[in-house]
Amino acid sequence: MFSSIRTKLTLWYVAVLALVVVAFSALTFVVLGNALNRDIDERLVEMSRNFGVAIMAEQEDESAPISERAIAEAVNEMRFRDYQFSISSGGGRTIASTSGNVIDPKCLIGDAAFRDCEIGDESFRVYESPLANGPREYRLFAFHSLHELTELKRRMGGVFLLGVPLTLLLAGVGGYFLARKSLAPVVEIGRQASQIGAGNLNERITIKNKHDELGDLAEVFNDLLGRLDASFEQQRRFMADASHELRTPLAIVRGEAEVALSKDDRSPAEYRESLNILHDESKRLTKIVEDLFTLARADAGQFKAAFAPVYLDEIVADAVRSMRVLADQRKINIEISSTTELPFNGDESLLRRLFLNLLDNAVKYSRPDGKVTVECLATDAQLQIIVSDNGIGIPPDEQDHIFDRFYRVDKSRSRADETATSGAGLGLSIARWIVEIHAGKVVLVSSTKDGSVFSVNFLR
């Protein structure tokens, strides 16, 4: 129960409120108590002053020393409900008192002008001041009962003791319901999210208020679901396309093996031909599986490119040399028309694979006696490798898709033209991935019926 955010929020809220309310109550109690005490003290001083004036008024001769008669007269006149006076001679003898009570002598001894003291069961605030005129000195004690103040403080304490827990209880209940209400959309988002799985990733979370923070949260969830859905879909398509691509060469291998095994008396030439077909198809299968493996590792982010200083022009020249055998077989002239030093920081084997894929396509889709040209160019900011062929070209409406996985412009065309190196429509996707991890760009610059031009650009 205490692990729920609702309860935690409520507890925090009540704890903070308790701190504030208790501090406020204590402060009020102290400040108000002090103010009332000060008020009593001020009034005691004032009353004592009035008492002095009353004594002087009772004196026949104002310049004569204070007489005990004048004091007794003043005591008779100064009768108040809340104040009492007592006058003692310098020797400590009480001369007159407005109170019928016997005043504890302890009350009359002390250093401070103000003091608290008990008389009977009652507490008093006492103010002592000198009363002098001439050589005789008396001490005037003014008393104010603290009964009312104590009562007021007691009641105030009672109000706080009852009011503070009650306020906290009400705030706690209110806070809990408020927290419950504010978190209700989160609970709803959780409920809906728990019903979404791999089977229904196309579903989305619906929320009433789209413009508050929880609306934003649901939006973030929905975006995440959208990305997951797209990636699941991509994986599904990848699996389906991969199995489709593997099915054909596997069927050929199986069919050819069955044919070879169906008769016992086959000539060595026939066996050789069958083995050649099996060899070609297994090479093709190996290439597809390797490409799939590369892309799967790339998708999983597991591919660690080994970056090192290289010369792109040398890698390109190497790739051209490797392709020359295949090009010669098809009577295609392959050459580097212009070259310059292209120092770069990259993964040599990946870069070789990139250029081989581009050159493989250029040769594969060239007409016999065609020409493939490679240019290595450098500007201040960029390194550029251009691969041009005068082959069959790519129709305009297909050009946007050639970098997609498993995309082949004309399935029948590429199958008929199959070579051991021909892939499953993965060559350009791998090329693009390699260029991207080197922070570069590969584009189809142009493609017509007379040929295609691909360009790879890297930042220096």
Binding site for ligand ADP (CB under 6 A): 357, 361-362, 365, 389, 391-394, 402, 407-409, 414, 422-423, 425-429, 452
Q: Which amino acid is at 255?
A: G
**Closest approach of Cβ 305 to ligand ADP, in Å?**
20
Query: Given the complex with ligand ADP, which of 275 and 443 has the nearer CB atom?
Result: 443
Phi, psi angle pair for 138, to nearest 5°: -120, 165
Residue where the block lists tokens 């009350």: 107
Torsion of CA 272, 274, 275, 277, to 10 degrees: 120
As given in the structure block, the two tokens for residue 216 are 């934003």
Q: Which residues of 279-289 are buried (b: 16+ CB within 10 A; e: fewer)?
A: ebbeebbebbe
Q: Which amino acid is at 286?
A: T
**Closest approach of Cβ 445 to ligand ADP, in Å?**
11
Phi, psi angle pair for 385, to nearest 5°: -125, 125
**Closest approach of Cβ 370 to ligand ADP, in Å?**
10
Query: Given the complex with ligand ADP, which of 165 and 395 has the nearer CB atom?
Result: 395
**Closest approach of Cβ 362 to ligand ADP, in Å?**
5
Task: Please state, in angstroms and as integers, the Cα–Cα distance from residue 18 to each residue in 23, 167, 172, 173, following that order.
Answer: 8, 9, 10, 14
| 102, containing H or E segment | none
Query: Given the complex with ligand ADP, which of 86 and 452 has the nearer CB atom?
Result: 452
Could you give the 3-state DSSP secondary structure of residue 76? helix
Report which of 82, 76, 71, 86 is spatially closest to residue 43, judged by C-alpha positions. 82
**Closest approach of Cβ 245 to ligand ADP, in Å?**
10
Q: What is d(CA 155, CA 161) in angstroms, rounded to the nearest whole number?
A: 10
**Closest approach of Cβ 300 to ligand ADP, in Å?**
21
Query: Given the complex with ligand ADP, which of 346 and 427 has the nearer CB atom?
Result: 427
From the CB of residue 439, how many other CB atoms can be counted at a distance below 10 Å?
A: 9
Query: Given the complex with ligand ADP, which of 75 and 387 has the nearer CB atom?
Result: 387
Query: Given the complex with ligand ADP, which of 10 and 357 has the nearer CB atom?
Result: 357
**Closest approach of Cβ 439 to ligand ADP, in Å?**
21
Query: Given the complex with ligand ADP, which of 273 and 404 has the nearer CB atom?
Result: 404
